[in-house]
Structure 1
Amino acid sequence: MTSTKILVADDDPNVCEIIRLFCSKQQMDLVVANDGKQALELTEKELPDLIVLDVMMPQMDGFEACREIRKKWDIPIIMLTAKDEEFDRVLGLELGADDYVTKPFSPRELVARIRAIMRRLQPREKQEEELCNQLVFDQLVIDIDKREVTAAEEKVNFRPKEFDLLVHMARSPGSVFSREQLLEQIWGFDYFGDARTIDVHIKKIRQRLQKLPYECIHTVWGIGYKFGVDDT
C-alpha cells in the first residue's frame, strides 16, 4: 500500500518536526519546505498528495504560494495561519485552499483534517453507479461520467469539489439546501471547516457559468442555495 505524501511548508523547524512525528504515526511521508518558493519547487519534484502551507513565510508567503500552485495543480491545500481573522480564512479559500488551521494548533487535529480530505478524494463507486450519465438544462450540460461541464457550447473547467457541489444541486432542481446540508453531503460529516466554504465555492461556480444567459444557482436568503435555470 502506497503511503500518503504530505508537503509541509513552514519556516519554523519545530512546527515541521511536530507535524512529522504525528504524520509518521499515520504512515504518512513528510516533505519539508522552509519557504514558499521551495514549496513550489518541491511540489514540482515530489507531486505530494496534500500540501500544508503556512501563511507567514519568507521569500513567498503562503497565499502567493497557494495561488501559484493552483495555476498548475489541483492538489489539496491546508493553510496554517497565526491570525484568527475572517479575512485570512476567506482569502485562503478564494485562492483555492481546501481548509485552514489557526495557530497554535493541535497536531492531532491537523492530521485528522488531512485524513478527512484524503478520504473525501477516494472514489465513491457506489454513488457514481447511481448517478445518471448526463444532466441537461438548455445550454448547460453536465456529463457526470466524464466529469465535464458545457455551458453555452463551451467546455468549462471545474475543480473537483465545485463539480460535486454543482451536480448535487442540479440533481434536485428547485430544492433548497442549507450550507450545513451541503457541507455534510459534499465534504462529509467529519469536515472541520465552516459554512463560509460553501459561499466561496458557489461564487466560483457562478463565475465559471457566467457565459450562460441565465442564472443557475440562486440564493435563498436566510437558508442557503437552490439550483434552477428558471429560478424554480
Structure 2
Amino acid sequence: MQPNTENAQVLIVEDDSEIANLLALTMQDNGMIPTVAEDGRVMQSLLRNNSYDLIILDVMLPGEDGLSICRKIRSENTIPIILLTALGEEVDRIVGLEVGADDYVAKPFSPREVVARVRSLLRRASYGLVKNTSPRKLRFDGWQLDPMRRQLHDPSNARVALTTTEFDLLLAFCRNPGRIITREELLSLTHSGLAGPIERSIDVHISRLRQKIEVNPKEPTLLRTVRLGGYMFTATVEEA
C-alpha cells in the first residue's frame, strides 16, 4: 500500500509566472498544497513562518541564484529539495547535487514527471522503509540509524543531519553490509525507477555521505569504492 502524499505542502520558488502557475496547478490537481515564491527573499520569509514538506527550486532566479539558496537551506534544514533547471549539461546538474539537492528536473519538463518525482521524494522522506525489511534500529561502529524516525546519531549520540537521499543510501548499505551494490541498484533505490537520473549523481551523494560518517572522507574505510563494481559498506551492522 502506497503512503498518501495528499495535502503535502510544496513550496515552489520560480520567478517565471507561467511556469510557477503551471507547477502550482499541477500540484493542486494532484492533491498537494502549493505556495509560490518569486525569489529567495520571499522564500526565506515563507520558511520562517511556515512549514513545508518539499521545495521545488529554480536555479536561475533574480538576485541570489538557486544553487546558493540551496546550499544555505541545506546547511540548516533537511527538507527535500528538487532543483528546476534549464541547464542541460551533466556538470551543471552535478553542481546542484553537490550543494545538497535531492533531485532535479530539467526544463522543458513534463508535469507528470514533476509529480512523479515529487511523490517519490515525499514518500521516501516520510516513510522511507525498504519493502520487507525490519524497522528496528541499526548500529555500526558506535553509530545508530533509526529507520522509523529517519535519524542518524554518531557515537557521542549527537544527531547528524542527512538529506532524504543520503539517508536512503546509508539505510541500503546498512541492510546490505559486505555486499557490493552497483550504481544501477542505488539509482533504482533513490529514484524509484524514474527516467533521467545520471549515474554520476550517486557518486556525489556518496561523497556527501562520506563527509558525515568517515573519519577521513578522502580515505574512506566504512564506505569503500569497488572499481568497476560500485560501493561496499564494510562495517559490522547489528540490530538494536
TM-score, scaled relative to structure 2: 0.82
- Root-mean-square deviation (CA), in Å? 2.7
Equivalent residue number for residue 226 of structure 2: 220
Residue 94 of structure 1 and its aligned partner are, at CA, apart by 0.9
The alignment partner of 1:162 has SS state of: helix
CA separation of 1:48 and 1:143: change in aligned 2, threshold 3 A: closer
Gaps of 5+ in 1: none
Larger Rg: 1
Equivalent residue number for residue 117 of structure 2: 113
Please state if 1:206 is matched with 2:210: yes
Structure 1 contact 37–65 (Cα < 8 Å) conserved:
no
Q: How does 1:163-202 map to 2 (within 5 A)?
A: 163-190=167-194, 192-202=196-206
Q: How does 1:107-186 map to 2 (within 5 A)?
A: 107-123=111-127, 130-137=134-141, 140-144=142-146, 147-151=151-155, 153=156, 155=158, 157-159=160-162, 160-186=164-190
Q: How does 1:61-80 map to 2 (within 5 A)?
A: 61-80=65-84
Please state if 1:55 is matched with 2:50: no
Residue 127 of structure 1 and its aligned partner are, at CA, apart by 5.4
Residue 91 of structure 1 and its aligned partner are, at CA, apart by 1.0
Q: After superposition, what is the alpha-carbon deviation per residue over 1:210-230, rounded to whole angstroms, capped at 9, x for unaligned?
A: 326961111111221011159
Please state if 1:42 is matched with 2:50: no
2: distance between equivalents of 1:191 and 1:46?
32
1: distance between equivalents of 2:200 and 2:129?
28
**How many aligned residue pairs are there?**
227
Q: How does 1:10-29 map to 2 (within 5 A)?
A: 10-29=14-33
Residue 173 of structure 1 and its aligned partner are, at CA, apart by 2.6
The alignment partner of 1:71 has SS state of: helix
Deviates further, 186-195 or 94-103: 186-195
Q: After superposition, what is the alpha-carbon deviation per residue over 1:5-46, rounded to whole angstroms, capped at 9, x for unaligned?
A: 111111111111111222221122211111122122222222
Deviates further, 210-219 or 84-93: 210-219
1: distance between equivalents of 2:77 and 2:30?
25
Q: After superposition, what is the alpha-carbon deviation per residue over 1:41-73, rounded to whole angstroms, capped at 9, x for unaligned?
A: 222222221111111111111111111211222
Structure 2 contact 80–125 (Cα < 8 Å) conserved:
no
The one-letter amino acid paired with 2:230 is G
Q: After superposition, what is the alpha-carbon deviation per residue over 1:71-124, rounded to whole angstroms, capped at 9, x for unaligned?
A: 222111111111101221011111111111111112221122111211222325
2:37 to 19, 33, 54: 33
The one-letter amino acid paired with 1:169 is F
The alignment partner of 1:135 has SS state of: strand
CA separation of 1:63 and 1:126: change in aligned 2, threshold 3 A: closer
Residue 156 of structure 1 and its aligned partner are, at CA, apart by 5.8
CA separation of 1:168 and 1:14: change in aligned 2, threshold 3 A: same
CA separation of 1:113 and 1:125: change in aligned 2, threshold 3 A: closer
The alignment partner of 1:84 has SS state of: coil
1: distance between equivalents of 2:65 and 2:43?
10
